[in-house]
Amino acid sequence: MSDRPSAWPTVRPLAVAALLTASALATTRAADPSLDATWRSASLVVDGSTADWPALQRVDNGPMVGVANDNDAVYLAVASNDPTIRQQLATGLVVWFDPSERQAQTFGVRLEGLAAEPLPGATPTAAVGDSLAAAPAPHALDSFDLLGPGKSQRRLIEQTDTVGIHLASGMEDRSVVYELKLPLAKSDATPYAIDATSGATVLLGLETPADPKIRRHSELDNPMSTDPYVIDPYGGYFGPMMPTRGPKPPKDEHVKPMKLVWVQVHLAAGH
């Protein structure tokens, strides 16, 4: 029998833990939903309707999603007539694209919702589901919030067509629908882009905006201030909120934000 010690005891516990962690991450990533994008047809336009989409695929337990692309842009449709998901989508939609496939939240867009939002400090007069009865028909959107690249960074972008981005939303056949066209590569004409090419694999993240929170006096730079603000999870202020007295307004507990879900998207190769 050899006196040479076995190689196994020399493996450090830290290295074993690292291997186990890597294996767990690989298993989690393998379980992520995936979509194969189709090549964009000439009839596909961003108008807030899914009529020109051949098919949409449900992602996990979330909305129906369709992805198409050409050599210049990615086209995305997100829709649902499920009562719960429809109410979530009615509050707005946040879309992330990550070409690094690391679930990085460095390039995102936030679209305004279909349901009318009460002013900061105001008491809601109707549930989200009730307000959808007056939701607009499919129509183009002329502004959105650009999210990233830093954490909690947000910038309002207006006149979207001048930067090569097209957005639309609306109600169609009892479904809430969002459509987007986002450039693949940056240029002088398209300064905000996914930074990918046709045929590449990217991660698509979908969620709905979190509820705004009231910044308490103790959290302000000046605790003696009488003007608390309603703040947004992505940074910035919605504006000064008038101090209110009495009981807090009732909360619509059944409408909770849709949690972030990541989808692996295989873009169609160039023609």
Q: What is the pLDDT of residues 128-174, one digit of tens each?
A: 555 566 667 899 999 999 999 998 899 999 989 899 999 999 999 89
107: its two tokens:
């390039």
pLDDT computed for residue 136 by the predictor: 77
- Cβ-based neighbours of 82, under 8 Å, separated by 6 or more: 63
pLDDT tens for each residue of the chain, 271 residues long: 555 544 444 445 544 444 454 444 444 455 679 999 999 998 899 999 999 998 999 998 999 999 999 999 999 999 999 999 999 999 999 999 999 999 999 999 999 999 655 545 555 545 555 556 666 789 999 999 999 999 889 999 998 989 999 999 999 989 999 999 999 999 999 999 999 999 999 999 999 998 655 444 444 455 444 444 444 555 443 333 344 444 444 444 557 999 999 999 999 998 7
- Give 180's strand partners: 76, 167
Nearest Cα to 203, choosing from 24, 31, 33, 15?
Answer: 33
Question: What's the pLDDT at 2?
Answer: 52
Token pair 């693949």 is found at 184
Instruction: Name 92's Cβ contacts closer than 8 Å, sequence gap at least 6.
Output: 110, 111, 112, 113, 208, 209
Task: Locate all alpha helices (DSSP H) within the chain, ordered by sequence.
Answer: 13-30, 83-89, 128-131
Is 0.85 surpassed by the pTM of this model? no
pLDDT of residue 118: 52
Give the 3-state secondary structure of residue 30: helix
Q: Compute the distance between CA of residue 151 and CA of residue 211 in angstroms, rounded to an integer.
A: 18
Q: Is the dihedral of CA 206, 46, 170, 175 positive or negative?
A: negative
